[in-house]
Every structure is written in C-alpha cells, then in structure tokens.
C-alpha cells in the first residue's frame, strides 16, 4: 500500500517494478543509502542494472510527471527527515569498467572510487592516487570534482556521458564543458552521469601503492573515527580552512541531539546514532552564524542537501 506522503499510485509502482527489475524498493529509508545514516524515505528507490533499463525508468517517470533525483554512494549527502517525493535513481548497479588503449579507462558511474583505484593499479596506471580514502562513486566524484591535495577528477577526465532526466537523451561532454571547479562542476542537476573516460599515465604498482598508503596514513591521523559522517561539511573559503574558522569560534564538540561538531576535526559533523537531519541543519546554521559574526566570512556547504524537512 502507498503511504500517505507517497506520490505514487499502485499502478505506477507496478510499472516501476517492471522497468527497474529486482532493485526497486518503495518507501525506502534513505538513511540506508547515506554514509551519515540520516534521511527519510524515498517514495521509490531504483538501481537499474543497465543504461537501457535506466533510460526506460527515466522515460516512464517523465511521461508520468514523477520527480527524479540521483544518488551515488551517498557520501556527500544530507537527506532531510521528510524524505524524497518521487523516484530516487541509484547508480550503484552500473558497474562496468574497462581499459581503453594503453592508458585510458572507461568507467560506469556506479563503480566505487576504491574499485577504480584498484583496477588502475592492477593495470599499472597512475594519476588517480588522490582517491586514496575518498569514498563514493565515480559519478558522484565527477559531479563533486572529488579530490585531495594530490589532485582531483578534473585532472584525469577526458569525457563524461550523462542522460537527461527529461527525455533520457544522451549528452557527451569533453572535460572543459564539465565546468570542473573546486569541489563542484557545472554538470546539470537534471542529468544523470552514466559513464566517464579517464586518461592516466603508466606507473609501477609499487609507486602507486606507496603514494596511496602515505595519503591514507595522513588522513587517518586527521579524520574522526567511530561515528557516521559525510566528510567535510563546508568548502574551504579562498585562502583559509573551514575547519580552522569553525574551531576558532570554539564550536568543536557542540552538540544538537545526537549530532556533533567533531572534537577531532571542526569541519566534520558526525552522527552518534539516531541524529536527525534537523539536528544537523541546526548545527550548520549555528556554525555559519558564529563564523560570519567573528570573521565576516560566509561558509558555503560542501554537503548536498536533498528532500523535505
Ligand atoms: C569519510 C569521508 C571522507 C571524504 N573525503 C573526501 C575528500 O578527501 N575529498 C573529496 O572531494 N570528498 C570527500 N568526501 C566527500 C565525498 O566522498 C565526495 O564528495 C564523493 O565524490 C561523493 O560521491 P558519492 O557517489 O557518494 O555522491 P553522493 O553523495 O551520492 O551525491 C553527491 C551529489 O552528486 C550527485 N550525484 C551522485 N551521483 C550522480 C550521478 N551519477 N549523476 C548525477 N549526479 C550525481 C547527487 O545528486 C548529489 O548532488 C568524503 C566523504 C566521507 C564520508
């Protein structure tokens, strides 16, 4: 039975089941699909296992006027407590990855960054060591231009293919058209990235593994342990660090319910178990206001917020 908030009729549920295959769930708590472990239910959560099946779901939803939204690994997402009306498309079952020529890789958006890094290493290809310890999917990584001080997706991506959520048409963009910037891109939110092409460099496995190990060791020292999180909450403002600014106003350790500004790293807000998105939003507003008052700097969210309050 449809829940009272769901937009979906019984016949729409049936049609989505037919198009999405086994990976279709209704009234699915999105807390199961985010690293923060926060988020209300999606009317439907679908993870198509091929691009053709994804196209069929998109076309159906468009014809029915059902809203669509994409999630990857959920490692940069704050899903609000009211959940998401309409259909959430998960890329997690789009998993192809292949070597192209000597130094190229074609990769589906649902492949995890860890899998991409391990395949490249096995093919003796370097250039994406910056991904050591960065969670999430390749598609999310493209949209966010994920990276570290060692580099970012912008440096190795040659082309990105998306499907428009309005008509399922394929759009191919070369690197400059993706508008990659620090922790972001201009890849439109009404498209879903389905595959990307990377150009890497020949490198020995020993060299790759040594670089990744030192990045991971550095991260281990700095990152909070033991509580659910979604990495950095705010982007670093030009010439400064969001963590330094938040720490300077004495915000570390501030709690709202089960949500806390981590005592280990001020730009990581963690969920000790059972935190609500509303608690996180309060912490976000408070940290922003305190930094604005003390430093005159407006912090910009790196997390993406989706759903209804
Ligand atoms: C412990 C931890 C450490 C982290 N460290 C780093 C770090 O060092 N550097 C860094 O850059 N980030 C870091 N992050 C943040 C996060 O891992 C990255 O932003 C990552 O690229 C997000 O990918 P995702 O697949 O999880 O995207 P999601 O969180 O699922 O989505 C992020 C955004 O991308 C959109 N999206 C996702 N997939 C697609 C797609 N296929 N097509 C269109 N839109 C899509 C979503 O709608 C959303 O707006 C960290 C997170 C955690 C939890």
Return the sign of the alpha-carbon dihedral for residues 36, 41, 42, 45. Answer: positive
User: Closest ligand 1 atom to the C-alpha of 304?
Assistant: 49
* 69 within 8 A of 41, measured Cβ to Cβ: no
- Token readout for 135 is 């969670």
User: How does strand 24-29 pair with strand 41-46?
Assistant: antiparallel
**CA–CA separation, 67 and 140 (whole Å):** 19
- What average pLDDT score do residues 106-128 get? 98
Q: CATH 3.30.465.10 in the chain, residues?
A: 97-208
pLDDT bracket for residue 135 (50, 70, 90): very high
Domain 224-306, what fold? 3.90.78
Q: CATH 3.90.78.10 in the chain, residues?
A: 224-306
47 lines ligand 1 (CB under 6 A): no
Write out pLDDT tens, residues 78-106.
999 999 999 999 999 999 999 999 999 99
pLDDT exceeds 60 at position 4: no
pLDDT bracket for residue 218 (50, 70, 90): very high
Q: What is the mean pLDDT of the chain?
A: 96
Specify the CATH number for 97-208; select among 3.30.465.10, 3.30.450.40, 2.40.440.10, 3.40.50.2000: 3.30.465.10
Ligand 1 centre to CA of 33 (Å) is: 12
Write out pLDDT tens, residues 182-206.
999 999 999 999 999 999 999 999 9
pTM: 0.96
CA 189 to chain centre: 13
147 lines ligand 1 (CB under 6 A): yes
- What average pLDDT score do residues 165-185 get? 97
Q: What is the pLDDT of residue 21?
A: 76
Least confident of 3-12, 33-42, 151-160: 3-12
Top CATH class, 10-90: alpha beta
Q: What is the pLDDT of residue 294?
A: 98
**CA–CA separation, 16 and 83 (whole Å):** 19
Ligand 1 centre to CA of 9 (Å) is: 32
Q: CATH 3.30.43.10 in the chain, residues?
A: 10-90
Shortest CA distance to 258 belongs to which of 243, 244, 274? 274
pLDDT bracket for residue 222 (50, 70, 90): confident
pLDDT exceeds 60 at position 153: yes
Write out pLDDT tens, residues 250-302.
999 999 999 999 999 999 999 999 999 999 999 999 999 999 999 999 999 99
Shortest CA distance to 37 belongs to which of 91, 86, 79? 79
C-alpha torsion 237→226→284→300, nearest 10: 20
Shortest CA distance to 290 belongs to which of 252, 259, 258? 252
**CA–CA separation, 195 and 169 (whole Å):** 14
Q: What is the pLDDT of residue 1?
A: 44
Ligand 1 centre to CA of 203 (Å) is: 27
């Amino acid at each position: 039975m449809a829940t009272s908030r769901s937009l979906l009729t019984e016949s729409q549920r049936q049609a989505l089941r037919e198009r999405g295959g086994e990976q279709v769930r209704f009234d699915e708590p999105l807390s199961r699909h985010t690293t923060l472990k926060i988020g209300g239910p999606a009317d439907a959560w679908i993870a198509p296992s091929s691009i053709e099946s994804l196209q069929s779901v998109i076309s159906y939803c468009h014809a029915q006027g059902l809203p669509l939204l994409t999630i990857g690994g959920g490692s940069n997402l704050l899903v609000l407590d009211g959940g998401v009306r309409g259909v959430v498309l998960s890329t997690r079952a789009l998993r192809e990855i292949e070597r192209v020529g000597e130094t190229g890789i074609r990769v589906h958006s649902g492949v995890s960054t860890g899998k991409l890094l391990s395949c490249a290493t096995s093919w003796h290809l370097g250039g994406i060591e910056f991904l050591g310890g960065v969670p999430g999917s390749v598609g999310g990584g493209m949209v966010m231009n994920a990276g570290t001080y060692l580099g970012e997706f912008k440096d190795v991506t040659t082309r990105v293919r998306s499907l428009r959520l309005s008509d399922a048409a394929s759009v191919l963009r070369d690197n400059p058209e993706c508008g990659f910037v620090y922790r972001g891109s201009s890849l439109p939110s009404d498209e879903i990235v389905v595959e990307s092409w990377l150009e890497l460099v020949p490198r020995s496995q020993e060299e790759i593994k040594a670089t990744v190990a030192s990045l991971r060791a550095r991260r281990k020292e700095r990152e909070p342990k033991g509580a659910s999180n979604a990495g950095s909450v705010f982007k670093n403002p030009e010439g400064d660090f969001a963590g330094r600014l938040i720490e300077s106003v004495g915000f570390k350790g501030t709690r709202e319910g089960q949500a806390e500004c981590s005592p280990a790293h001020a730009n990581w807000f963690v969920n000790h178990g059972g935190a609500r998105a509303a608690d996180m939003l309060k912490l976000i507003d408070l940290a922003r206001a305190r930094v604005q008052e003390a430093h005159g700097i407006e912090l910009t969210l790196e997390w993406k917020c989706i759903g209804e309050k």
